Every structure is written in structure tokens, then in C-alpha cells.
Amino acid sequence: MKSFYVSGVALMLLAAVSCGKQKTGGAENHAPAKYPTAIVSTGSAELVTVYPVTLRGKEDIEIRPRIDGFIEDIYIDEGSAVKRGQTLFRINSPQAEQAVTAGKAAVTVAESQVATAKLNVDRISPLVEKGILSPVQLETYQNALSSAEALRAQALAQLKNAEATMSWASVTSPVDGYVGAVPYRKGSLVNSQNVLTTVANTSSVFAYFSLNEKALAEFLGRLEGGTQAEKLKHAPGGTLSLADGTVYPVKGKIETITGVVNISTGSVGFRAEFPNSEGVLRSGMSGKIAIPAAYDSVVLIPQKSTFAQQDKILVYTVENSAAKQRIITVSPTPDGTTYVVHSGLAAGERIVTDGVATLVDGAKITFDN
């Protein structure tokens, strides 16, 4: 029994020594690690904001018939290039033809009445001069001539109106441009409510996009000038990216801002114009416009010094040799390596610039001064 007791004491001592070594080793494993750090500084940067756009031709016109009738001929096809005044459709309008026929007949009758009245005046005038007939009779015939001439003028006006209406049977293009879809075919009955096609003048193209009220105030606040018109003269050019990712080679110019805020969306409409001499852009296309903005004396940090947590961007600041998490708001620069810090970090503070994935909040670290 005594030997067993001594062996138990020895085992307990051995275990104590072993635990002591483990504790010593654990302390050695948690020694502060060294991380690269940097003092935050300010500099100049250019940020690019991207907005979705819808493209429309400089002149995007719906072509409608001005008279009722049947489509007799179609002289164009979808996508055709047309010139101003070129005939696109021919409308067969029996009502318009009948109006012209009736107008011509009315003019013929009115001219006959004028001729008869004039003949009566010419016949009566010598008799009145000789005193054979009373001047009152001459005045009566003269009044009849005046009435006949007035009726002739009215008939001529009606004929002119009928002929003008008949001319609408030829539907022409009001602008140079390209023809859109043609939903109707020969024989279709159409009226002024039907859109026969559209003609888009795309020598230059308008890109429409919108900003909310806050973004509008920031945008105008960065531009020189006292009025909105003066500020737009100093607005930067926009870069257009098409739906397939292609970047349009010519920059656009922001020309107008709507004067009313959309009550439903709280946004303000912008319009930028892009030259389109090569015809690459078409009305109805979609894309994105990138608007650059220059900033001076802003806090810049490398993107690799940050990490994401849910929908927040965080950085580790160094405080009393410990890494402390800090939520910041940032915007990426076009080079993809740097962030502009809007809030949460000030110039002169020290941050961990790399290896943030291995850190936890409050961890002790070492760094080079």
C-alpha cells in the first residue's frame, strides 16, 4: 500500500509539471503578432458614379395617318433610312376623294353663278345710264354679283381644304432618320389613332437618366457657376456603356435637368447628348452612363485594408497597440485598389493595411513606427 501511495504522488507531480509546460506554451502562442500599418493621409481622387440610361433619338416621331382609309401602298421597310419629305405610305380614302369631287363641282356652279350675275350687271348698266331703268335695279344685280362672288370664294376655299385633306393620303417622313416597326400591311383600315411606324433621327442620341434630390445637390455643388445653366456648362462629360458592356468611344455632354422633382420617385431627370455619326446607337437601346467627379483633400486608404461584415465596410485602427474594428463609409476609385473614405476615419489615424482576415477585435499587435 505504501508503494502505491508514493507512485500516486509521483503521478500527480508529473501532471502538474506537464500542465505548467502547456500553460507556458500557450502564452508563447498568444504573443502579439506584427502587422503592416500606415498613418491615414489625404489626397486627390476621381470618383465615378454610374446610372442606368435609356437612349432616344434626337427626334423620335410617331407616324400617324391624318385621314381615315385603307393602306394602299407601303414604300419603306423596317430599319430603312429615309429623308425628310419622303413618302412612306399611301392611304386610299374614298371620303377624301369624294370631298374633292364635290368641291370641284361646287366651284363650277359658283363660277356659273358669278358669270350670270356679271352678265346681268353688264346688261343693265347701259339702260340705267340712259335712264331707261332705275338705278335701284342695277344695285340689285350688283348685289347679286357680289353674293355670287362670295359663294365662289367659299367654294374655292372648300375645294382647297378638300385637296389639302386629299394630300394627306401620302404619308411622308417629317425628318431624316430610320424607320421603326411597321405593324400594318396593305389593306389595313387605319385612322389617326393608329401609329403606322416611327422615324428616329439618330444623328445624335439623347441618354435619359435620373438622380435623387441629395445626389442632385451634391452634383450641382461641385460645379462652377451661379445658375444651373452656368453649372451645366462646366459639367463633366459622361461615358456610355452599352448593354453588352461595350464602351462607346465618344463622351456625351449633359445638357438639361428637368425643373420638377418627380413626386413618385423623388428624382430629377437628366439628359445627355451623344454624337452618333456612325449610327452605332439606336433609339430604344439601354445602357449605363458613368459621370466622373473630382475630389480634393479626401481620406484615401487601400481596399485590402478593409473587410466586409454583412452590409458594412470595416477597417482595423491601431489604438494602444491593439486592433480595433471601425465601421466606415467609402466609395471605390476607378483603379480598383483604393477607397475614398467619407466618414468613420480621419487623417492622422493609424490603420492595419494588410492581413486583416487574421485579426479579431481587440487583438494586441506590434508594428513598425
pLDDT of residue 10: 41
In this structure, the strands spanning 267-275 and 239-242 are unpaired
Q: What is the pLDDT of residues 48-77, one digit of tens each?
A: 999 999 999 988 899 999 999 999 999 999
- Residue of 227, 230, 231 lying closest to 219 (CA atoms): 231
> Taking the chain, what is the end-to-end CA distance rounded to the nearest angstrom?
65
pLDDT of residue 29: 53
- Claim to verify: residue 339 and residue 316 sit in the same structural domain: yes
- Asked if residue 154 and residue 108 are part of one domain, the reply reads yes
Sorted by sequence, the CB contacts under 8 Å of residue 30 that are 6+ apart come out as none
Q: Which of 14-28, 273-287, 316-330 has the lowest mean pLDDT?
A: 14-28
Q: What confidence category does residue 30 fall into, taking pLDDT thresholds of 50, 70 and 90? A: low
Query: Is residue 206 located within the same domain as residue 190?
Result: no
Q: Are 199 and 182 in contact, with CB atoms under 8 Å apart?
A: no
The DSSP call for residue 67 is S
Residue 195 CB partners (closer than 8 Å, separation 6+): 62, 63, 64, 183
Cell of 187: 389593306
Exposed/middle/buried for 219, CB within 10 Å: 0-12, 13-18, 19+? buried
Q: How far apart are CA 176 and CA 86, in angstroms?
A: 9
Q: Does pLDDT of 244 surpass 60?
A: yes
Judgement on whether residues 258 and 235 belong to the same structural domain of the protein: yes
Map grid coordinates 344695285 to a residue.
139
Domain extent at residue 38: 33-45+297-366
Written as one letter, the residue type at 154 is Q
Q: Do residues 145 and 261 share a domain?
A: no
Task: Give 356 or 368, the one with higher predicted confidence.
Answer: 356
Closest to 174 (Cα-Cα) out of 58, 54, 55, 282: 58
Distance, in Å, from the CA atom of 283 to the CA atom of 179, rounded to the nearest integer, reads 11
Whether residue 207 is found in the same domain as residue 289: yes
Examine residue 184 and state whether it is found in any structural domain, yes or no.
yes
Find the CATH number of the domain harbouring 252.
Answer: 2.40.30.170
Same domain assignment for residues 217 and 288: yes
Q: Which three cell numbers stand for residue 41?
A: 493621409
Looking at per-residue confidence, does 337 or 2 come out higher?
Answer: 337
DSSP state of 175: S
Site of grid cell 451634391? 218
Whether 176 and 127 map to the same domain: the answer is: no
Residue 1 in any domain: the answer is: no
Whole-number percent of the chain with pLDDT over 90: 66
> Is a pLDDT exceeding 90 seen at residue 294?
no
d(CA 121, CA 141): 6
Whether pLDDT at 24 is above 50: no
CB neighbours of 1 closer than 8 A, spacing ≥ 6? none
Residue 27 covered by a domain: no
CATH number at residue 180: 2.40.50.100
Do 289 and 301 fall within a single domain? no
Task: Tell me the mean pLDDT in the region 169-186.
Answer: 93
Q: How many domains does the chain have?
A: 4
Domain shared by 240 and 320, yes or no: no
Same domain, 156 and 189: no
Query: Considering the domain boundaries, does residue 308 fall inside one?
Result: yes
